[in-house]
Amino acid sequence: MKIKKILILLLTAVFCTTSINAAVNKYKVFKKAKYVGTMTSYEVDDNIYFDLNDITKHLNAKKNIYSVSKKIVLSIGNKKLNISRDMVDFDGISTANIPSAFILRASKYFLNSNIFLSPTFAKIFELKLDLDDKSRTIKIYDDINITSVKNFSYTEKTRIVVYMTKKLDYKLDTVGKTLVLTVFDGSYIVQNDIIDINDGNVENIKMTQDPNLFKLVIEMGDNFDGYESSTLKDPDRIVIDIKSKPATVENRISGVISPSIPDVSGSSSSFVLPDKLKPNGDEKTVVVIDAGHGGKDPGGRAVSGKKEKQINLEIAKKLYDILKKDDKFEVILTRSSDYFIPLYERSKIANDAKCDLFISIHANAHKDKNVNGYEIYFLSEKASDPWANEVADYENASINYEEGTFDYGGAAMVLHSMARNEYINEGSKLAAYVSRYMSKDTPFNNNGIKQAAFYVLRGTYAPGILVEVGFMTNKKDKKNLDNPSVQEKVARSIYKGILDYEDQNK
């Protein structure tokens, strides 16, 4: 009896393993063409999995296994890869559905290789993996120094920008209507890539990676009229301007690509710059007023009295009424009552309206109830101080209420960096003008002008400020925030600041 039972068990075991068509293999791992060891793979049907310990070692990562919540977290550099059963989160910037992202076999964890082969992984972690299942080799490129290639179409030129992590030598050669950029020791995220531009001036850009060279081949269109190149710092980048013949202006693309189109599929992207900083003659100045939070997102916690979302809306509406009476302005509210709008939608409303100035209104909170006063923020990638960073993280956390996964780190949010520098400059001026009146005409103390990376400012193609009017956690500030006549003073101060800013820009 006993023997028979064991036999049945054995047969079942054999049957099970063969039926799912699984195989265990060893892959050879190379870094910079140098052999560095092996990785154990587990192949089930068409999926290749790698031993968690092996991949952790070869990526210089740290691993945390949460067996209760069924989650594995790999820390690579200062970034985190969150792997759940069917979902992978790339450092909070992007997510991907990867069925059976990890599996457990013989009490060992294996990770789906698709996680590491995706362009999203390469782009966010600046690590490229190439897998060849015929020769069973994996190449790891952890020395990525070219992070992206972007193009911008202006009326008189097409600008191509190569973003690098350090300064690299390069040369440019022309062969007929082809311009070739060679970057020495350049290492790009993907092996082969192509960007179709077709703006009359440039047809497309092809990118190829040779062992020690990165090549960018630019195919010029019919309107090509010479080129210029230069380098810029912070971050290091090569800028190539392809000039077009003036007669062709009317054939050019114009308009704004909506920021609500997530794009993380590739490392390259196209963008047509809105020209917002030109004087627009007799046209009205379009001001978009954004009352922070709303609906299911109440904003900062108020101990008593009005919620942040309500205070923000009341001040926003007062500012709206004031601007509405001045026929120099066209005014738009991102929300006019108590409902939820995602942050990217707020930017989209502003961009669709071809907004000239963007004003976001919020109220602050602090664990120390003595902290009080107003702060005016303009956009920056780096916060001016740790507190500014906390405020930005706090306001950006509104995305936790959003459904779906808008990619706040993706192309649409980051690629207009050149225009953004100008907006930042203008935003800082506007902040200064508004602050003058806030400190003079309102009861709130002046905590100064600060910088931080607010999503709502980053996605908007116009100079913008975010006003933290006062602290809801401070008794005196809260009383003032709730008070309609103080709210009116705040709205007037912002209005006067806008007027001064406009005067100065004439």
Judged by CB, which is closer to Zn ion: 120, or 473? 473
Q: Across 67-176, where does the E strand assignment appear? A: 71-76, 79-84, 87-90, 94-97, 102-105, 108-112, 128-132, 137-141, 146-153, 157-164, 170-175
Distance between CA atoms of residues 273 and 175, nearest Å: 29
Residue 346 Cβ, how far from Zn ion at the closest point, in Å? 12
Pick 186 or 299: Cβ nearer Zn ion: 299
> Measured from the CB of residue 291, what is the shortest distance to Zn ion in angstroms?
10
Cβ 286 vs Cβ 355: under 8 Å: yes
Is residue 292 part of the contact set for Zn ion (CB under 5 A)? Answer: yes
CB 27 within 8 A of CB 137: yes
Minimum distance from CB of 371 to Zn ion (Å)? Answer: 15
Tokens of 149: 């290639």
Shortest distance, position 452 Cβ to Zn ion, whole Å:
13
- For Zn ion, the binding residues in 389-408 under the rule CB under 5 A are 395
Nearest approach, Cβ of residue 395 and Zn ion (Å): 5
Shortest CA distance to 380 belongs to which of 348, 429, 427, 435? 427
292 vs 464, which CB is nearer to Zn ion? Answer: 292
Distance in Å, CB of 33 to Zn ion, minimum: 51
Number of residues that bind Zn ion (CB under 5 A): 4
User: Interface with Zn ion by CB under 5 A: which range of 198-206, 216-224, 251-259, 299-307?
Assistant: 299-307
Omega of the bond prior to 259 within 30 degrees of 0, cis?
A: no
Q: Any contact of residue 259 with Zn ion (CB under 5 A)?
A: no
Our CB check for Zn ion shows the closer of 299 and 410 to be 299
Cβ-based nearer residue to Zn ion, 205 or 467: 467
What the block records as the tokens of 359 is: 């004003």
Q: Which is nearer to Zn ion, 292 or 459 (CB)?
A: 292
Rounded least distance, CB 309 to Zn ion, Å: 8
Of 215, 214, 199, whose CA–CA distance to 151 is shortest? 199
> Is the Cβ–Cβ distance between 451 and 388 less than 8 Å?
yes
Minimum CB distance to Zn ion, residue 299 (Å): 4
CB of 362 to Zn ion, least distance (A): 3
By CB under 5 A, tell whether 294 contacts Zn ion.
Answer: no
Residue number with CB closer to Zn ion (42 or 408): 408
Q: Cβ 472 to Zn ion, closest distance in Å?
A: 9
Q: What is the H or E stretch that residue 382 is in? A: none
Residue with tokens 């949010």: 413
Orientation angle between helical segments 308-324 and 484-504, nearest 10 degrees: 50
Which lies closer to Zn ion via its Cβ, residue 108 or residue 301? Answer: 301
Binding test (CB under 5 A) with Zn ion, winner from 299, 342, 464, 470:
299
β-pair partners for 216:
181, 207
Residue numbers 348-367 binding Zn ion by CB under 5 A: 362
Q: How far is the CB of 30 from Zn ion (least distance, A)?
A: 49
Is 427 one of the binding residues for Zn ion (CB under 5 A)?
A: no
Span of 141-149, 163-171, 222-230, 294-302 interacting with Zn ion by CB under 5 A? 294-302
Q: Which of residues 301-330 bind Zn ion (CB under 5 A)?
A: none
505: which 2 tokens? Answer: 């820009």
Order of strands across the sheet that contains 357-364: 329-333, 285-291, 357-364, 464-471, 374-379, 446-452
DSSP-derived 3-state class of residue 347: helix
Smallest separation, CB 365 to Zn ion (Å):
8
The most distant pair of C-alpha atoms in the chain lies apart, rounded to whole Å, by 98
Residues 6+ apart with CB under 8 A from 314: 306, 484, 487
433 vs 420: CA distance, rounded Å: 20
> Which residue carries 């200064």 as its tokens?
432
Residue 156 CA neighbour count, 13 Å, CB half? 3
- Cβ proximity to Zn ion, 419 vs 453, nearer residue: 453
Gap between the Cα atoms of 176 and 172, Å rounded: 13
Strands across the sheet with 87-90, in order?
62-66, 71-76, 79-84, 87-90, 94-97
* Residue closer to Zn ion (CB basis): 128 or 362: 362
- Tokens, residue 489: 């003073």
- The closest residue (CB) to Zn ion is 362
> Is the CB of 200 or the CB of 292 nearer to Zn ion?
292
Residue 123 or 293: the one with the smaller Cβ distance to Zn ion is 293
Which residue number, 450 or 496, has a Cβ lying nearer to Zn ion?
Answer: 450
Residue-by-residue DSSP string for 466-497: EEEEEETTSHHHHHHHH-HHHHHHHHHHHHHH
**CB of residue 360 vs Zn ion: minimum separation in angstroms?**
9
Instruction: Note the residues at the interface with Zn ion (CB under 5 A).
Output: 292, 299, 362, 395
